[in-house]
Amino acid sequence: MKVIIIRYSEIHLKGNNREFFESALVANIKTVLKEYRYEFSRSNARYVIRNFDQTRLEDMIDAIKNVFGVHSLSIAEEVDSVYEQISSAALQFAPASGTFKVVTNRADKRFPMQSMKVSAEVGGDILEQNPHLKVDLFAPEHTVYIDIRENGKTFVYGETIKGVNGMPVGTGGRGVVMLSGGIDSPVATYMMAKRGMTLRAVHFHSFPYTSMQARQKVLDLAKIVKKYTLHMTVDVVSFTEIQTEIHEKCPEEYMITIMRRFMMRIAERIAKIHGAGAVITGESLGQVASQTLESITSTNSVATIPVFRPLIGFDKDEIIEIAQKIGTFETSILPYEDCCTIFLPKRPVTKPRLEHVLKVESALDVDALVENALNSIESVTIE
């Protein structure tokens, strides 16, 4: 019988809390497999999927490997723990050419042959059927794995498919991520979901200064990251009034600084409304004027809950590499401007002093502007 073996990541380190993390992982795996027919069971520190539609195997593997908490998967043949069946199954995974070795794990000590003996005998059977192959015990091109379990069954497989590791979404609290159409914030979303955080997004849109294509670009990015976050709602906030007021009443060089402070206030209010305990941004130290230590300090001063910046020590090349890996890069570089680029000053202040920021900001009715923005929210659930 063909089966899928799923192995988990850090969960084995969780001691008395392990059951909580395992339950979350199982629930998340079942979420991504909700459209498939299968049977699910546990086998020690792994899970096994049986009786599935083999024509949909590739799609199932693609869904499972992107679930945070999954360390690796294997497509295996499950047989009775009888040598003849084990050897026959191993022949299915023998390579067509090159070098190989057989690795056996004998969890069932009642099995009459020791692990090294099983590996040697099965390797001999493979060579008898494929005399052009060569055994290499130290650096083989291919490995056939035999896992003899305590329940009288054995798994035989030849490939380990890498998962995304991390912690299951839903085990790391709730957060609100500031999601723009750039490269960084989708990567930050991915990084925090990888640590188990359940995420909701807020996007600041300045129609008619920014186009509806720019808004759709962000929703498209949210749809891409949803395969990792499992669920995603984007709160689209009208930011036009705030930007216009800042443009009219504040010095040009402070526009970005004041905008970031408003965004943080609004994101925090949304977080509190939905029971989230943190705000997440895609900021990287020193990347742009609004991401210097002084600018970040100014933005942080309006926050009363933690602000996570998972990319703070990354350079642009490292961020792009992750964006390409998770599939957001090509969408992020589409030429639709977000709200921050529309009113971009020629010489933004890079080291704002908080007392100057407060003086500049005093020209604005901050509370009224924040309330108006919150009342403008359009919540979009990503399907």
Report pLDDT for 341: 58
* Domain end point (choices 132, 162, 192): 162
Report pLDDT for 346: 75
Q: Judge if 224 and 365 occupy the same domain.
A: yes
Return d(Cα 226, Cα 281) in angstroms, integer. Answer: 17
Q: Judge if 16 and 85 occupy the same domain.
A: yes
Is the pLDDT at 332 greater than 70, yes or no? yes
Q: Judge if 152 and 182 occupy the same domain.
A: no
> Is residue 167 a part of any domain in this protein?
no
Q: Judge if 111 and 196 occupy the same domain.
A: no
> Is residue 326 a part of any domain in this protein?
yes
Number of domains in the chain: 2
Residue 342 or 365, more confident:
365
Task: Give the confidence band of 38 by pLDDT, cuts at 50, 70, 90.
Answer: very high
For 171-200, what is each residue's pLDDT tens digit? 999 999 999 999 999 999 999 999 999 999
Structural domain harbouring 158: 2-162
Q: Read off the CATH number of the domain in which 343 is found.
A: 3.40.50.620
Give percent of the chain above pLDDT 90: 87
> Is residue 297 a part of any domain in this protein?
yes
Copy the structure tokens of residue 173. Answer: 């609290």
Residue 341 or 254, more confident:
254
Q: Which residues, including other chains, have CB under 8 Å from residue 129's CB and lie 6 or more apart?
A: 91, 94
Q: Calculate the average pLDDT of the chain.
A: 94
Q: Judge if 231 and 345 occupy the same domain.
A: yes
Mean per-residue pLDDT, 227-233:
97
> Is residue 107 a part of any domain in this protein?
yes
Alpha helices in the chain (DSSP H): 18-32, 57-65, 83-92, 115-129, 184-194, 212-229, 240-249, 255-273, 293-300, 316-326, 329-332, 339-342, 354-361, 366-375
Q: Judge if 158 and 190 occupy the same domain.
A: no
User: Could you tell me which of 32, 39, 157 has the C-alpha nearest to residue 89?
Assistant: 157
Predicted TM-score (pTM) of this structure: 0.92
Is the pLDDT at 300 greater than 80, yes or no? yes
Is the pLDDT at 361 greater than 60, yes or no? yes
* Domain end point (choices 116, 136, 162): 162
End-to-end CA distance of the chain: 34
For 121-137, what is each residue's pLDDT tens digit? 999 999 999 999 999 99
Q: Judge if 326 and 255 occupy the same domain.
A: yes
> Is residue 372 a part of any domain in this protein?
yes
> Is residue 47 a part of any domain in this protein?
yes
Q: Judge if 207 and 315 occupy the same domain.
A: yes
Mean per-residue pLDDT, 295-320:
96
> Is residue 142 a part of any domain in this protein?
yes
> Is residue 222 a part of any domain in this protein?
yes
Q: Judge if 237 and 361 occupy the same domain.
A: yes
User: Could you tell me which of 40, 62, 44, 60 has the C-alpha nearest to residue 8?
Assistant: 44
What single-letter DSSP state applies at residue 167?
A: B
For 329, half-sphere exposure in the C-beta direction (CA atoms, 13 angstrom radius) is 11
For 143-161, what is each residue's pLDDT tens digit? 999 999 999 999 999 999 9
Report pLDDT for 340: 56
Report pLDDT for 206: 87
Is the pLDDT at 266 greater than 60, yes or no? yes
* Domain end point (choices 110, 130, 162): 162
Task: Give the confidence band of 12 by pLDDT, cuts at 50, 70, 90.
Answer: confident
Task: Give the confidence band of 338 by pLDDT, cuts at 50, 70, 90.
Answer: low
Q: Judge if 140 and 186 occupy the same domain.
A: no
Mean per-residue pLDDT, 199-225:
93
Q: Judge if 179 and 141 occupy the same domain.
A: no
Whole-Å CA distances, 101 to 116, 128, 142, 158, 160: 11, 14, 7, 10, 15
Q: Read off the CATH number of the domain in which 84 is found.
A: 3.30.2130.30
Return d(Cα 292, Cα 298) in angstroms, integer. Answer: 10
Q: Judge if 104 and 195 occupy the same domain.
A: no
